[in-house]
Structure 1
């Protein structure tokens, strides 16, 4: 790892890691970006292509980073026929266009589906992660075992900030599957390492999350929305979904009982809002009221409300039920290794090794203080350069609409800039986002695969 990058990334262990003025780290971040650019431009042809297209030979300003960022959609730019036709050697060829490491050492002989393809990559020393594929296709992002270790270290100091520091001394409850090649599962496994007490770590299921099933379900939902699914396909899909839901509900009730049995000791629970409401339902059946959990318990909740009927005050109900516990939160995604934890004032902070690049909606122009309103706020598209990654280029333009406060101070008293807790998407679930650079990136990759 290049020295200035390492210097910035190593600061995550410092007490003020999320409390540094931009002026203090601006120059170091630029130097680190240039260091990384010099290395990656020789390793990733797509990055070299973008640099040549934009006429960029070095990084002297954050504005010069914007044309070098990859659209988040590039990580699912493979032709779907590669998967449909079991062309796993072509999938490796596609993955190579976005990876630093040579993936030609992966034996794909006899691979039957995408899950087995991922298994072969892991067996060869690679660490690809798959997204949920809400638009009908899964993204695949390669990284290394060292990236995984550095990510675990970052999570140790970011998860729980600023309320509590990670110690492996709690009963840990993860309200989802604990095995598979998904980024949320990787986070759960890191949580076990950093927070879980030996012999007291529980998940909804030990059955692996199969990316092939996730991808098929997402594709079917898209086909139903578009009106292209056949009636018999819809009937079979809905029957399978009902069966899976019944099994999930049964598993959730068993896990809820374990959680309630541990409520008087410090525990850690991570799950979706609907799952927390199921825990409340189980508690009421056992005569357990509000506020009976140990005050040093950590409760994380979010998401999981699409297609689920919940009362209007579900968040208030969950808050009352757990009572005076620790409720940390963070902003993150599959494409990023460094979490952005939320402070007491409800703002998201960034670590020194993460460069924020808030752009206009098209993803083509960097927003600055000049774009801010009188309060110092500006609304734009979230983009970044994550300096942690060794396995790929860490510069990405996301589909997230954010509000940035360019002020050098946060209401919590720490330094800024910060992001407000009102993050949404530029596109609806099931739709692809439209970013200025996406078409040219995809065209380059198609050309590379055709060679």
Structure 2
């Protein structure tokens, strides 16, 4: 099949999804009408229709702080494909709200809200199943095929968030041997999102010099208790790892807690080379604000005996179901079903490139997204090679030097964000 035929079929598929979603997602319909877009005839036609990542935190903060859950439902409904008509009687906290929606099939996920305001994305069971299947497929493509012959260690704490638990259960079900290292059980807290929101608000108040000392003390005490529980969990795993140092272990973890686990192993007398099992690691994202030594990855791999062939690292975000896996050359490859855009800093137009490379703001259209419109403009600055990858794969490859615009001197302002936020607020006010 020719490249031209492939491109035509891709555009037809994008238009088909656009026509379907504009009938379902109120904000998309309003945006398309305002831009005069009635059909997708080229990839670039989608650019004005991509939603800035900030869209999913465009609700008035008082809806959460004052418990106006019915209005928050209307806000979420304006961004959703399936109507959010859920009784919120008796809901008191944001965690209650998320639990109530989940019981009705709206699997809302939220960011940590480090800016003081969390984002909320509506997902469906199809979204969750697609994401979990994509994760298993990525592992299998790497060579880590599902077989229950591993000790499985989900390193991070149990947050009580159903999406986290679903991922953990899937990995355990697919890979854990019957006598796998036991995972510590603890009382599952029901205040994950409320806690993160409180922390973000207190941090913002501290930066402004308006924080209440009692509130600061309470948050610090709660944080210290959570850190103690995490440390106990890591020490539990370290003890069992040393008893099974020659057996295969599958680690599922972000880098920061995994590095601390390695430190605990060293404190217990272990050295690089003591673990001889052909261990594997799955992780996504970067350091999430944590500071680690420049060689943290090399130290983790040496201590835990993880080779590149058993390291599943991917680039993705909560707005997407699909992941861009990292190859042996350190680049991320965009999978089928995910359309990549590299935009200018303001997110208004495709960025210009030279010498086969282009640098700018990452944006994606995920054709598998079911609960929302699949187009999103991220806060990430990326560099893309359009000529193929040294690993041998053809097509676009994303270099690993991904940074947040918010971490640069350039601020993270997307030109159309204010306009789309105004559309959303209009639906809440109606």
CA displacement at 1:150 relative to structure 2: 1.9
Counterpart secondary structure, 1:216: helix
Other-structure match for 1:88: 69
- Seen in structure 2, the aligned counterparts of structure 1 residues 25 and 348 have a Cα distance that, compared at 3 Å, is farther
Other-structure match for 1:64: 45
CA displacement at 1:114 relative to structure 2: 0.8
Matches within 5 A, 1:173-188: 173-181=153-161, 186-188=166-168
Counterpart contact for 1:118–1:181, Cα < 8 Å: no
Other-structure match for 1:12: none
Alignment RMSD (CA, Å): 2.6
Once the two structures are overlaid, the 10-residue window that deviates more, 245-254 or 332-341, is: 245-254
- Seen in structure 2, the aligned counterparts of structure 1 residues 186 and 80 have a Cα distance that, compared at 3 Å, is farther
Once the two structures are overlaid, the 10-residue window that deviates more, 282-291 or 175-184, is: 175-184
CA displacement at 1:163 relative to structure 2: 4.2
Q: Distance in 2 between matches of 1:87 and 1:137?
A: 16
1:79 counterpart (52, 60, 79): 60
Other-structure match for 1:231: 213
Q: Deviations over 1:228-257 (max 9, x none)?
A: 323333233223322322222122211222
Counterpart secondary structure, 1:33: helix
Q: Distance in 1 between matches of 2:40 and 2:137?
A: 29
Q: Deviations over 1:78-105 (max 9, x none)?
A: 111111111111111111001111221x
Other-structure match for 1:113: 93
Confirm or deny that 1:394 pairs with 2:394: no
Other-structure match for 1:4: none
Counterpart secondary structure, 1:357: strand
CA displacement at 1:226 relative to structure 2: 2.8
CA displacement at 1:224 relative to structure 2: 1.7
Q: Distance in 1 between matches of 2:260 and 2:300?
A: 10
Counterpart contact for 1:176–1:205, Cα < 8 Å: no
Q: Deviations over 1:343-370 (max 9, x none)?
A: 1111111111111111111111023xxx
Q: Distance in 1 between matches of 2:140 and 2:405?
A: 28
Confirm or deny that 1:139 pairs with 2:119: yes
CA displacement at 1:168 relative to structure 2: 4.3
TM-score (norm 1): 0.87
Q: Distance in 1 between matches of 2:288 and 2:183?
A: 20
Confirm or deny that 1:245 pairs with 2:227: yes
Other-structure match for 1:128: 108
2:152 counterpart (172, 176, 179): 172
- Structure 1's unaligned 5+ residue stretches are 1-19
2:279 counterpart (288, 293, 297): 297
- Structure 2's unaligned 5+ residue stretches are none
Matches within 5 A, 1:354-365: 354-365=338-349
- Seen in structure 2, the aligned counterparts of structure 1 residues 329 and 21 have a Cα distance that, compared at 3 Å, is farther
Counterpart contact for 1:377–1:403, Cα < 8 Å: yes
Counterpart contact for 2:157–2:230, Cα < 8 Å: no
CA displacement at 1:30 relative to structure 2: 1.4
Higher RCO (C-alpha under 8 Å, 6+ residues apart): 1
Other-structure match for 2:81: 100
Counterpart secondary structure, 1:177: coil
TM-score (norm 2): 0.91
Counterpart secondary structure, 2:379: strand
Q: Distance in 2 between matches of 1:193 and 1:433?
A: 40
- Seen in structure 2, the aligned counterparts of structure 1 residues 132 and 204 have a Cα distance that, compared at 3 Å, is farther
Q: Distance in 1 between matches of 2:162 and 2:79?
A: 18
